[in-house]
Amino acid sequence: MSRSDTAALNRHADTGVGRAAYGPGGVSFDTSAFEVEADLDADACITRECGRRLCEAIDKHGFVIVQNVFSDRESAAGLEVVRTALGDPDRERASFASQTDVRYGRRDFCPLPSTEPVLQFCSLLARRCERVLTEYCRSAWAVLEISTLTSYAGCSHQYLHRDPAGVLCVFVALEDVSVEQGGTVLAPGTHPFIGSHRGHGGRAELLMRLFQLRCNVRIMRYNLRKIVKLWRSGQPRISTEEFFDRVFSRKSDAHQPNIYYFLTRSPNAVFNVYKCGLRTLIRLVQFGKQAAEAFRLIQASPKRGSIIIYRSDMLHAGPDNRSKNPRYFLSINIARDVIHPAAWRSGYSPHSSLRAKPMTLGELIDWRSQ
């Protein structure tokens, strides 16, 4: 870790979202145990041995950070694709999560169209990582979404949550992501698999629920304090309307802390008061320490050309961006199983061009410029 990264880490920890935010141990910025250097063969594809190591990491942790998958030139080409899409005033927008941040321009979830530049870059990614992707996803299964995930200063920290199961997600860092820009937060070992409930003395599922609860209590507290501070300081500026909308709004937003939704029984809420019943609180007293020792959070802030491959059903969250610079990720979501179209639409927001002409993983791998 560089000296500048260390300084940023210390500033980040001082705000409360770092060491203190998630209880004992806090969030770790050291991701070395989850990183694998990309080893490419003569065809610029991940080698068989490297692919085996990546799959081992995904099976064990639920995710892996793959370093130096793309060259600087390739990353620049991908970044141009993203900026071109974001520069289109008529672009399609997604609102599957963090709707309040999206409404006020704090986040931008932009489905990417099936244009030649987009498919050229994504096909390069699919071919290069074919040995890993096809280990989990059949060639005949759908590419659910290609999008760019952008966060700006002032956005909120998402609740720790799981996305719909049965999907493999790939985040591509097209430029260096700093600690203060946020990256993404992951909880290693929280992905479900056959027999996973037997872990930790048969208490794995209970401990994961308690761990998620502890984290989300602190995330909610951190977000509310941050919003009040931003409203008072004006750095960045938050209007009175935005302040009340982010704290008390009745508009749907399952991932972003909100007092109204915390106090109401919303079926889609990631966290509310009804998840903190007496029985749960007793369990928290009994097993809260064990939950904190069993699981931890890491924040991945990947360097340019690196990717994060993770299972959609592991616990993760989009942290807040505390820098002045936008954080860009290019994201591809691929089905790990047969998926009903209704479930596809409920969890992901593909571009209209991808809905009109669906694409499988095999077709993306084999795609060539027309």
Q: Residue 311 CA to chain centroid, in angstroms?
A: 10
| CATH superfamily of the 3-366 domain | q2cbj1_9rhob like domain (2.60.120.620)
Query: What confidence score (pLDDT) does residue 14 get?
Result: 41
Per-residue exposure over 54-89, b if at least 16 CB sit within 10 Å of its own CB, e if not:
bbebbeebbbbbbebbbeeebbebbbebbeebbeee
CA distance 299 to 185: 4
Type of residue numbered 243: F
Q: Which amino acid is at 359?
A: M
CA 341 – CA 12 distance, rounded (Å): 41
Q: Identify the pLDDT of residue 270.
A: 85
HEC string of the chain? CCHHHHHHHHHHHHCCCCCCCCCCCCEECCCHHHEEECCECCCCCECHHHHHHHHHHHHHHCEEEEECCCCHHHHHHHHHHHHHHHCCCCCCCCCCCCHHHHHCCCEEEEECCCCHHHHHHHHHHHHHCHHHHHHHCCCCCEEEEEEEEEECECCCCCCCECCCCCEEEEEEECCCCCCCCCCEEECCCCCCCCCHHHHHHHCHHHHHHHHHHHHHHHHHHHHHHHHHHHHHHCCCCCCHHHHHHHHHCCCCCCCCCCHHHHHCCCCCCCCCHHHCCHHHHHHHHHHHHHHHHHCCEEEECCCCCCEEEEECCCCEECCCECCCCCEEEEEEEEECCCCCHHHHHHHCCCCHHHHHCCCEHHHHHHCCCC
- Enter the pTM of the model: 0.90
CA angle at residue 236 from 230 to 242, to 5 degrees? 65
How many CB atoms sit inside 10 A of residue 223's CB? Answer: 22
Which mean pLDDT values do the consecutive 10-residue runs of the chain (370 residues) have? 44 42 62 96 97 98 98 96 91 79 88 95 97 97 94 92 93 95 95 93 95 93 89 81 86 80 78 89 94 95 97 95 93 91 77 94 87
**Predicted local confidence at residue 26, as pLDDT:** 72
Let me know: does 193 contact 287? Beta carbons within 8 Å. Answer: no
The CA-based angle 360-342-129, given to 5 degrees, is 25
Q: What is the pLDDT of residue 16?
A: 42
- Radius of gyration of the chain measured on its C-alpha atoms: 20
Domain boundaries, the chain: 3-366
Q: What are the φ and ψ backbone dihedral angles of 134, each rounded to 5 degrees?
A: -80, -10
47: left (phi over 0), alpha (psi -120 to 50) or beta: beta
